[in-house]
Amino acid sequence: MRPPEQEVPHESTGRPRPAAADRDRGGRGGLRGHRAAGGHHHGHRDRPRHRHRDRPRRPLAPRPAPDRRHPGPRALPGPEHPAGASPVPRETLIAGHYHPLWPFSDPGQVAAWQREYRANGRERWRLDPARTAVAFSRDFLGFTDIDRAVKTVRDGAHARVHVGFRAEEGPRPLVVAVVHLMRYGQGKDAPWEVVGTDDTTLSLTRPAYGAAARSPLTVGGRVTGVDESLRIEVRHPSSRKPLGERCCLPAGGQNAPWSGRVSFTAPPGRTLTVVVSTGGHVAAVERFAVTAVTVPR
């Protein structure tokens, strides 16, 4: 799930555009997707003038002011949950808004890594958003087939990394997800931190990004595909195993809703990663999406 962005200049603000994960997926025989094209309808400029000039005109209703915080109809996830309502301390958030998912959980961990890096160059890969996104997908989420960054788009403190793998049936790599990262901490050696994903044909819209979560947790979104089997997991960097999981939810259709419940156990005050994945046509995991939830204290 894409975190709701607030007054941060980025290539994805404004009106939504087709996600790169959909473009990279085009032509893949193993996955079944759908792309719709549309256009603008322009009215005719040479319409005849109205004959009844003396008829009073009705006043036009004022247009609502645009909401700059949530650009366009695809502003996911639920914007009704402000970051301030999270049980996580505000100083833990990135830019006061984004939840740290991996590899760090708070500014103290970031500062500790920076001290070690400055002393001996430890784990330099954390300064590379592409390597961090691949490690998040492969090592933290356990999707071992993901082995490359197909494309990386950087814009200031933001980075979008298209992670995937090369399938046997085609020359082009398959994009599994678009991972959203941000710089976490201070200084030129501030590492990259995963804060969410930009969802495409598999979305995770419930619970809202950063929402308080209790077990059992209802999870849902939309999916496009045929004979999909969805797996839900709840994760935290402190554990190599999922804190909770649910499999396998049958799903499919064109932008069809899906939902399920998952039980988990986690200490209060932590930020957790909820992940949904599907696959089985050409690979074990062909698409995934994540969002952040917080455990009330």
Residue 104's domain is classified under what CATH number?
Answer: 2.60.40.2550
Number of domain units in the chain: 1
Q: What is the pLDDT of residue 36?
A: 37
Q: What is the pLDDT of residue 171?
A: 81
Q: What is the pLDDT of residue 2?
A: 66
190 inside domain: yes
pLDDT tens-digit profile of 39-70? 444 444 444 444 444 444 444 334 334 333 33
d(Cα 24, Cα 38) in Å, to the nearest integer?
Answer: 20
Q: What is the pLDDT of residue 290?
A: 98
pLDDT tens-digit profile of 244-283? 999 999 999 999 999 999 999 999 999 999 999 999 888 9
CB atoms within 10 A of CB 85: 11
24 inside domain: no
Q: What is the pLDDT of residue 210?
A: 96
CB atoms within 10 A of CB 80: 9
Query: Phi/psi at 33 (nearest 5 deg)?
Result: -125, -175
pLDDT category at 4 given cuts 50, 70, 90 is: low
Structure tokens at 237: 């960097």
CB atoms within 10 A of CB 190: 17
Yes or no: say if 16 and 73 are a contact pair by the CB < 8 Å rule. Answer: yes
pLDDT tens-digit profile of 5-38? 554 433 433 444 444 444 444 444 443 343 333 4
Q: What is the pLDDT of residue 35?
A: 38
Please state the rounded mean pLDDT for residues 113-140: 97
For residue 90, give its domain range.
80-294
pLDDT category at 90 given cuts 50, 70, 90 is: confident
30 inside domain: no
Q: What is the pLDDT of residue 19?
A: 45
d(Cα 237, Cα 105) in Å, to the nearest integer?
Answer: 8
d(Cα 37, Cα 26) in Å, to the nearest integer?
Answer: 14
Within 8 A by CB and 6+ apart from 52, the residues are: none
143 inside domain: yes
Q: What is the pLDDT of residue 170?
A: 75
90 inside domain: yes
Position 116: which residue type? Answer: E
101 inside domain: yes
Q: What is the pLDDT of residue 87?
A: 65
Q: What percent of the chain has pLDDT over 90?
A: 66
> Which of 47-51, 150-154, 169-173, 286-290 is the least confident region?
47-51
DSSP for 232-249, written as a single string:
EEEE-TT-SS-SEEEEEE
Angle 254-173-192 from CA coordinates, rounded to 5°: 95
Within 8 A by CB and 6+ apart from 237, the residues are: 102, 103, 104, 105, 140
pLDDT at 227 over 60: yes
Yes or no: say if 218 and 264 are a contact pair by the CB < 8 Å rule. Answer: no
Give 59's DSSP letter: P
d(Cα 288, Cα 1) in Å, to the nearest integer?
Answer: 10
